Amino acid sequence: MTARPVPAPPDLSPKNPDWWRQAVVYQVYPRSFGDADGDGLGDLKGITERLGHLAALGVDALWLSPFYPSELADGGYDVIDYRDVDPRLGTLDDFDAMAAEAHRLGLKVIVDVVPNHTSHLHVWFQEALAAGPGSPARDRYVFRDGRGAHGELPPTDWRSVFGGSAWRRVPDGQWYLHLFTPEQPDLNWDHDDVRADFRTTLRFWSDRGVDGFRVDVAHALVKDLADPLRDLGDPELSAETSLTDLPPGSHPFYDRDEVHEIYRDWRRVLDSYSPPRMAVAEAWVPNARRVRYARPDELGQAFNFEYLQTPWDADALRQVIAESLDAARAAGASATWVLSNHDVIRHASRLMLPPGTGTDDWLLSGGTRPPVDEAAGLRRARAATLLMLALPGSAYLYQSEELGLPEVADLPPEVLQDPVWEQTGHVQKGRDGCRVPLPWTSAGPSYGFGAAGSWLPQPGWFGRYAAQAQDGVAGSTLELYRTALRLRRKLTEGETLTWAADTPPAVLSFARTDGWRCVTNLSAAPVPLPPGEVLVTSGPLTDDGRLGPDTTAWLG
């Protein structure tokens, strides 16, 4: 074993404006994290009480999904007031206390901004309904007359992401656009009030000391509002996946070139703070187009959903990693990586689904067709995580993936809360299976989530995955994450990697500039490790020191 100099840890001090470029960010879904007041719904105090867990885990920042006043028609992404806290989750004072405690622990705070749509209960939409057709209040949204002899048909064939027409008719006969639920009317971003109000929101939270923003559906804000609105021709083209089939920038509501003007404007606001506030785009668009949102004069980062969607396959992973790094470099952005979030099946389950498995069908079968081997899923998830954490750039973790939690795939229909279930006519169960309140203790009421129950039922096996059951236990997933994050802080340097030339096809092996190497075995048989000190592995090595299937090792 040769001693080598340990590079300085990344500078996360307030003076470093680039702290986010290699940060590990932990997503908190506030309703499911911790329930301090015992009403079954997570709250801000519940987060504050558990920030020690994040500090001990070794993440750099937490991102909170919306905690604003909301009817919860879409889990809080239907915002009634962008500059307040949902009374069920706390108060602005609670937010300040939470942010102060996070900062005291050295954690940055990122909040969600939801600019594509408001709640239908937002004061603007209520005004628009009352004011009637042709009024200035309606112009803040996208209201249109219908087609057909009596305006009884929606203005276009655009479909909602959650199923059905993207238009809803109001009693006076007009229709309004909602790309998500009918309770989430789309804003008109050609309107000055809309632009001004979001600048105010960015300043409101920046003034309160937040360090950054996650921008919801960043690619949808600008619509082609040509009069009359144009049909897609094929309603299936409403899906984001159709973007690969269309000329770039030509879709009437996704990824239009004009949207970038908005983010250049926002960047000026964010840069007026010291240090500048960071931002990350949620944009479900192809890699090459996605990095445009991450350009230095725009948001700086964008989630890498292509990585998340890549199957557990060495060639596919090698390709997506290389492409992502190239695209980020070309845009002057830092790469990002993510495996789980509040919208997808947890990766401890997802990565085990055979290629071609429809995830909706799998959820409808209660996770039984095909069944997922729990131990194998955990092994693979741990290998995938250790690989992700070795990649240059910033990594986004989703709450309790550090516990190795699988998807709760068998929630019964009567408890489902995700609007997707109703809106698809019970064809898609939706995203509740990754939103079940977390197990903190091995037993007790709601496994330590709160004093009472939880807004989604927790399964009987949750206790096995509880943080308490894993804390200090050698080999547990929680300890693996802690070790990896501690090492990563010491090892991260530079934003490049070098692939090893001499590896079998089903093995990923690369070195970071400082000589730190990551090897992942995606083959079915053990493989020898390259020379070097083994720093951490996602699972035990074989008796003769080789790397087993679905295992990752870091070497120094």
**Sites of contact with ligand GLC (CB under 6 A):** 74-75, 77, 114, 180, 216-217, 282, 342-343
For strands 551-555 and 517-521, give the pairing: antiparallel
- Rg, Å, the chain Cα set: 23
- Residue 181's CB is within 10 A of a number of other CB atoms, namely 24
3-class SS of residue 40: coil
Helices and strands: H and E segment counts in the chain: 15, 16
Closest CA to 92 of 252, 264, 208, 235: 208
What residue spans of 19-168 are helical by DSSP H? Answer: 44-49, 51-57, 92-104, 123-131
Comparing CB distances to ligand GLC, the nearer of 284 and 440 is 284
Could you tell me which residues are beta bridge partners of residue 279? 213, 300
**Residue written as tokens 């060639």?**
315
Six-digit token string for 505? 């096809």
Comparing CB distances to ligand GLC, the nearer of 27 and 503 is 27
Q: How far apart are CA 315 and CA 508, in angstroms?
A: 9
Distance from chain centroid for Cα 447: 25
Query: Which residue of this chain has its Cβ atom nearest to ligand GLC in the complex?
Result: 77
DSSP percent split of the chain into helix, strand, coil, nearest 5: 35, 15, 50
Comparing CB distances to ligand GLC, the nearer of 57 and 283 is 283
| Least spacing, CB of residue 180 vs ligand GLC, in Å | 4
Tell me which of 216, 298, 401, 418 is the catalytic residue: 216
Q: How far apart are CA 411 and CA 415, in angstroms?
A: 7
What lies within 8 Å, CB to CB, of 5 at 6+ separation is none
Q: Is 60 a catalytic residue?
A: no
| Least spacing, CB of residue 219 vs ligand GLC, in Å | 10
With beta carbons less than 8 A apart as the criterion, state whether 98 and 48 touch: yes
What residue spans of 471-531 are helical by DSSP H? Answer: 477-491
Comparing CB distances to ligand GLC, the nearer of 181 and 537 is 181
| Least spacing, CB of residue 75 vs ligand GLC, in Å | 6
| Least spacing, CB of residue 405 vs ligand GLC, in Å | 18
3-class SS of residue 251: coil
Q: How far apart are CA 519 and CA 508, in angstroms?
A: 6
| Least spacing, CB of residue 417 vs ligand GLC, in Å | 12
Comparing CB distances to ligand GLC, the nearer of 280 and 438 is 280
| HSE-CB of 134 using CA atoms within 13 angstroms | 0
| Least spacing, CB of residue 162 vs ligand GLC, in Å | 8
Q: Is 282 a catalytic residue?
A: yes
Comparing CB distances to ligand GLC, the nearer of 423 and 520 is 423
| Least spacing, CB of residue 184 vs ligand GLC, in Å | 6
Comparing CB distances to ligand GLC, the nearer of 305 and 449 is 305
Tell me which of 282, 298, 343, 401 is the catalytic residue: 282
- Residue 444's CB is within 10 A of a number of other CB atoms, namely 14
Q: How far apart are CA 98 and CA 209, in angstroms?
A: 11
Six-digit token string for 96? 């300040």
Q: How far apart are CA 373 and CA 388, in angstroms?
A: 22
Comparing CB distances to ligand GLC, the nearer of 180 and 465 is 180
**Residue written as tokens 């991260």?**
492
**Is the CA virtual torsion 375, 378, 379, 380 positive or negative?**
positive
Six-digit token string for 541? 């090595």
| Least spacing, CB of residue 217 vs ligand GLC, in Å | 5
| Least spacing, CB of residue 418 vs ligand GLC, in Å | 8
Comparing CB distances to ligand GLC, the nearer of 116 and 310 is 116
By annotation, the residues acting in catalysis are: 216, 282
